[in-house]
Structure 1
Amino acid sequence: MKIQSEESVILFLVVWTMTEITRYSYYTFNLLHHLPYFIKWARYNLFIVLYPLGVIGELMTIYAALPFVRRSGMYSMRLPNKYNVSFDYYYCLIIVMLSYIPLFPQLFFHMLRQRRRVLHGEVIVEKDD
């Protein structure tokens, strides 16, 4: 099974491409001191749809790759070896997938706060624990 032909790869490539085009257009126009409102609006609104879609595409691609990674032992290192360490890429990918659970909401809500600050001029006070 070729993971490259999964529809999820196309999904995250298209989504991340659109995200980067928007982001770097924003940076470029901002550096030129001529930032059209549409570019600013796109930078702080399109992520609401694109970010979750990109994450879904990434997770679906990793999930589709798991059987191949397990079968092939790709990027894994078994004992005994000259370094005396063991690493299993299959379990590493599972940990990466699970890390999206706490990290995605944190990053997404950070972007929502940035959006509110930039588009609506709200001052956001972070609480210190």
Structure 2
Amino acid sequence: MPSTCAYQMLLGSGSREDSIVEEAWGLWFSADSAIWFPSLWMGIRGGGSGAEDTLGIVPSSVVLTSFQVMSRVFLIWAVTHSVKEVQSEDSVLLFVIAWTITEIIRYSFYTFSLLNHLPYLIKWARYTLFIVLYPMGVSGELLTIYAALPFVRQAGLYSISLPNKYNFSFDYHAFLILIMISYIPIFPQLYFHMIHQRRKILSHTEEHKKFE
């Protein structure tokens, strides 16, 4: 864990807020940081992607990107971080690898596009490798949620039972099942949106080459 002096040099010292942030700082340097820090960063960058879409900096579907962002943040914090037992599952590694490769390709594509010097290989990778990476990531996400279900039920995690003064109940176990079901209508939209984009963009590139 970083020393207090090193932390104070970076963020200052003396306030209650500093001590709170210092706890969070220490969390990322725990034994789990090899997974959680990169995963959090990908979630944050996903949020940046949503903002970039809204501002028109990059060409993507705002609705579909928003779903990706929310699903990633939810999976990181509300499932994998909250249910320690699933952190050693192979499915976690599956979606982390898929996310990592996807984001490397995505931001290489965005960077070279903004520089008006986009290599065809990166464009091809952006609109081709998702064919494998998207199902791989979704499979990892769903398998991780499924693995968490028995632990969530046993611990009653995030669930609210009756009676209580608000006369309100919430079953987090059932909510996770609904989340899994929601992938059925949403994932095909995302996937076939990319298939459509691939046909349009790569075919346009091929036609452009013929005229050169």
- Aligned equivalents of 2:153, 2:92: Cα separation in 1: 20
Structure 2: tracts of 5 or more residues without a match: 1-83, 206-212
Aligned to 1:105: 188
- Aligned equivalents of 1:121, 1:81: Cα separation in 2: 61
Q: Deviations over 1:89-128 (max 9, x none)?
A: 1001101111111212121111100111111129xxxxxx
TM-score normalised over the length of structure 1: 0.89
Secondary structure of the 2:202 match is: helix
Secondary structure of the 1:5 match is: coil
Instruction: Find out whether 1:48 has 2:131 as its counterpart.
Output: yes
Q: How many residues align?
A: 122
Structure 1: tracts of 5 or more residues without a match: 123-129
Shift of residue 6 of structure 1? 0.1
Letter in 1 for 2:138: V
8-17 vs 71-80, which moves further: 71-80
> Which structure would you say has the larger RCO, counting Cα contacts within 8 Å and 6 or more residues apart?
1
Aligned to 1:27: 110
1:36 maps to which of 119, 122, 129: 119
40-49 vs 83-92, which moves further: 83-92
Larger-gyration structure (1/2):
2
TM-score normalised over the length of structure 2: 0.55
Aligned to 1:7: 90
Q: Which has more helix, going by share of residues?
A: 2
Shift of residue 81 of structure 1? 2.6
- Aligned equivalents of 2:100, 2:166: Cα separation in 1: 39
Aligned to 2:140: 57
Secondary structure of the 1:62 match is: helix
Q: Deviations over 1:55-101 (max 9, x none)?
A: 10001100100000000111111122343321111001101111111
